[in-house]
Amino acid sequence: MKAVKTSIPGTRQPRRPRLAVAKFASCDGCQLTLLNLEDELLAVGDALEVTYFPEASSRMRGGPYDIALVEGSISMPEHARQLAELRKQARVLITIGACATAGGIQALRNWADLESYKRAVYPTPAYIQSLRTSTPISEHVSVDFELWGCPIDKQQLLRVLTDVLAGVQPFLPAHSVCLDCKRQGHPCVLVAKGLPCLGPVTRTGCGAICPGMGRDCYGCFGPVEGASPGPGIPPNTASLSDHFSSQFHLIPVELVRRFRGINGYLRPFREESHAWESSNKDSDAHR
């Protein structure tokens, strides 16, 4: 990856790389992570020229942009068009958060009847223009780098921005949350408390907050796909869910809900939830 270095046309004077922060369907939490950098935000402002950031400023300028941070999933008809234009204007495009990388919690609509949801929620459903599915950014345009989490971790954000500016290929650890628990001395809530913890199949990044508080991980940083136990090898969700079923006596519908959460549309979690949903349907059919 080449360093993002630019200069003012007609001179040798360098200019700050231009940053855009765009939002689609999301809660804004990952953008707030950027704004909550506190002291580090001043350094980001010195290193980058923030030219487009509706969450932070009413002063917005068009592209091209050296770096674009994109939050949110593609959930409305105009989103795909706006994203395609942003991709043309952005030299480096980085998705931030579960909505942008996995479709987010709103991807639950992918398994439901959207029209029935609209009728139940809105007094005039005809006014709501929404796609039947909620999909991650990577299903529509090429993505240079992905930051996981709900919300993202500020230290990971700083590390990626620093690497991109320096021309270094960003690298973030992708081991499971279990390793973080061991390093921090947290008792295993799956073993010690019998809680259905998703830590063994969830990638690091959160700092093992939930297990550290005695709670089970719910997979907010997504599956450790391709990271553990080796490159290209998906996490063993089947073994974990079988343990939940046989040892904790979770019924199929509970297992479906366990995997079909914030990152439920990503393949490892999606396929595991499909398997248990089919199992539940087969059980109902034999009653």
Residue 172 falls within a domain, yes or no? Answer: no
Q: Exposed, middle or buried, 94 (CB in 10 Å: 0-12/13-18/19+)?
A: buried
Cis, peptide link before residue 9, omega less than 30° from 0: no
1 is a domain residue: no
Q: Are residues 99 and 146 in the same domain?
A: yes
Q: Choose one of 122, 146, 166: the last residue of a domain.
A: 166
157 part of a folded domain:
yes
Q: What's 147's domain CATH number?
A: 3.40.50.700
153 and 268 assigned to the same domain: no
Q: What's the total number of domains in the chain?
A: 2
Phi, psi (deg, nearest 5) at residue 70? -120, 120
pLDDT tens, residue order, the chain (287 aa):
556 665 545 545 578 999 999 999 999 999 999 999 988 999 998 999 999 999 998 888 999 999 999 999 999 999 999 999 999 999 999 999 999 999 999 999 999 999 998 999 999 999 998 999 999 999 999 999 999 999 999 999 999 999 999 999 998 898 999 999 999 999 999 999 999 999 999 999 999 999 999 999 999 999 997 544 445 678 999 999 999 999 999 999 999 999 999 999 999 999 999 999 988 756 554 44
Residue 171 lies in a domain: no
Q: Give the strand pairing for 14-15 and 18-23.
A: unpaired
This prediction's pTM: 0.89
Tell me the residue range of the domain where 244 lies.
177-285
Q: Give yes or no: residues 209 and 276 share one domain.
A: yes
Are residue 46 and residue 117 in the same domain, yes or no?
yes
